[in-house]
Each structure stands twice: as C-alpha cells, then as structure tokens.
Structure 1
C-alpha cells in the first residue's frame, strides 16, 4: 500500500451486516430482460454502482414549520442580532405570550429549533369576536371613522389577540363579563 491509499482507507470499521446509507446521485437506469429496472448510482467520490429500487431511499427535504406570528418575530429578532438558537429558546423577558407558548405548546422547543434551522411559515392567527354578555354589545372597529368600541348593533368585527392587546383590549381575555368567541 502506498501513502495515498493509506489516507483513503476508512478509519471506522463496521461489523458485517451493518445497514448503511451511501450518498450519491442516480445517473442512469439499466433494464434487465425481465423488465426489472436497476439504478446506476454515481457515488460522491466518483465510483458508479448498480442499485435496485428497494435499496434506494430519497432524502426528505425539510418542510417549513408552522409557527405563530409572535414566534416568527422572536426568531427574526434574534437572527437579526446574530444571536444563537439557544438565546431564542432561553428568552424569559422578551415576550410574555412567547414564554407561555413555550411552556404550554406541545413540542414548542422543537418547533422553534426546526423553524430556526429549516425555515417556517406563519400560522394564520386565531380571530375572535368580543361581546359584553350583560348588554349583548360587540366590540366593533370602523376604520373609516377611526372608531373602536362596543356597540349594540348588527355590526361585528373580529380581531387577533395581538390586535386586541395593541388596542388596549387585552383584558377581555381575563374578564368574566366578556364572551370571547373564536371565529
């Protein structure tokens, strides 16, 4: 063995019978007499091998994770500061809603990590109708007149949690006299 061959010898030996995956690209097909098709695979280091279909596994591309808007904002904030995923996951003071979501959402930490690494899509936010129970009045927004308040009429407006909080109506989620209906 010359020096070059020694360098290329794998340093890890696998026991016989170990299942492995080999990285390469399909570069052609070979059709046998019985119409069975085998794949011609060019391995990353250049050698070509023939592999039957049942020996080929296609690598799944990572799918973007769906996260709420406030999670997307946290991710973008930390990425913009050249911070780490660890910083985004241990955040405790930045956003109360985010912290509650991390504590209550199933697999929240994994979702943030996957969104950070693989990309994300913003979930459509839940929208709510807000009604004062005692007087049957709904919270209404009339943009043309710059009005936001409770009215006893057929007008109904729906809001995201964030819109309500930004307008100073975040308290409606904690008030017994208010009926919140998800729409």
Structure 2
C-alpha cells in the first residue's frame, strides 16, 4: 500500500460524529498503517557502507552527501578501487541514494575454499588458525581453523595471487 492508498483507506473508515469532532476506530487506522509499504533497505558492499558512514560524520549533511559522490574526494580519502568502481557505475547511483536516505544492508561477501593442487590430502587447503597464523590443513572448519575466506581477507594476507595461479583451485562456497 502506498501513501495515497492509505489516505483513501482512512477517508473510507466509518466515522461516528460527536458534538466536537468525528470519531473513528483507532484499531482500524492502525491496521491500515501497518499495510503501508516501507522502503526496503538496499544491499551494498561493505566498502560502500563504510564510505557512507564516514561521509555522514562530515559536519553538514548536504555537504557530505554531495562530497560522497565526488571522485576527487574518493582519491583524497583513499577509497579502494572496488569501491570507486561501484560508485562510478551509473546503475548504482540510485542504490547509493536509497542507502543514504533509507538505510542499507551489507552484502554478504563471497567466501572461498583455497585448495593447493598436488599436496597431501590432509594438508591441501589454506586455513587461518584463529591465532592469526595461516596454515595448510584439511577443509573441515572448526573452532580452531577457518577454511573459507573472503577475497579481502586473502588479499590483506598477501594471498591475492591464489586467484590467478594455475596450481591453486578456488571454490566459491555457498553459505
């Protein structure tokens, strides 16, 4: 239900006249309001969410919104190439505005299993031991090892090259 349909619905609610003003059933009106469509939150990448939050800390709302879409400001704030590519895509302009105005949800990042070909079966997967150490182990995730990694996690640990290496098999994991 949109705003106009809500207004028409409330106008159609029967009213009982009293001396001072008409009376309508509050429950009926509340039921109509519950049918009103709220804007759905759009999904955006984490880097864009971070950029929106940073921009909203600028002193003036209108200035920060206009700055948020300026390429020179992106460069001054060292935005990642991924974030800049997303912001430059004309199809994302409306999504960015909706995220700014109505809120957003962060897209789940793709996660990957990284298997090194030709290694012992029990030691062929790249794992992150929760003590901040990368190790080779099997593909069974447990409280000690994380076996599925985001591209960002791999790149930050200098493992970005695995995506281009013929000796490494990358499997996207469905959550």
TM-score (structure 2 length as normaliser): 0.62
Residue 50 of structure 1: aligned partner = none
Partners in 2 of 1:125 and 1:153 — Cα distance? 22
Match of 2:40 among 63, 70, 75: 63
Mapping for residues 9-28 of structure 1, pairs under 5 Å = 24=7, 26=10
Shift in alpha-carbon separation, 1:62–1:143, aligned structure 2, 3 A: same
Match of 2:163 among 143, 148, 173: 173
**If each structure's strand is expressed as a fraction of its own residues, which one has the higher value?**
1
**5+ long unaligned stretches in structure 1:** 1-20, 31-39, 41-55
Shift in alpha-carbon separation, 1:176–1:78, aligned structure 2, 3 A: farther
C-alpha displacement of 1:140: 0.8
- Contact 1:89 / 1:112 at 8 angstroms: preserved in 2? no
Partners in 1 of 2:152 and 2:48 — Cα distance? 12
Specify which structure has the bigger relative contact order, considering alpha-carbon pairs within 8 angstroms and separated by 6 or more residues. Answer: 2
1:160 matched to 2:150? The reply is yes
Give the RMSD, CA atoms, in angstroms. Answer: 3.5
C-alpha displacement of 1:26: 2.1
| Per-residue Cα deviation, 1:148-168 (whole angstroms, up to 9, x for no partner) | 03x254546001122222222
Partner SS state of residue 80, structure 1: coil
Partners in 2 of 1:69 and 1:28 — Cα distance? 45
Shift in alpha-carbon separation, 1:138–1:103, aligned structure 2, 3 A: farther
1:95 matched to 2:80? The reply is yes
Residue 144 of structure 2: aligned partner = none
Residue 141 of structure 1: aligned partner = 128
Matched residue pairs, number?
139
Question: Rg: which structure is higher?
Answer: 1
Partners in 1 of 2:112 and 2:51 — Cα distance? 23
Partner SS state of residue 128, structure 1: strand
Partner SS state of residue 62, structure 1: coil
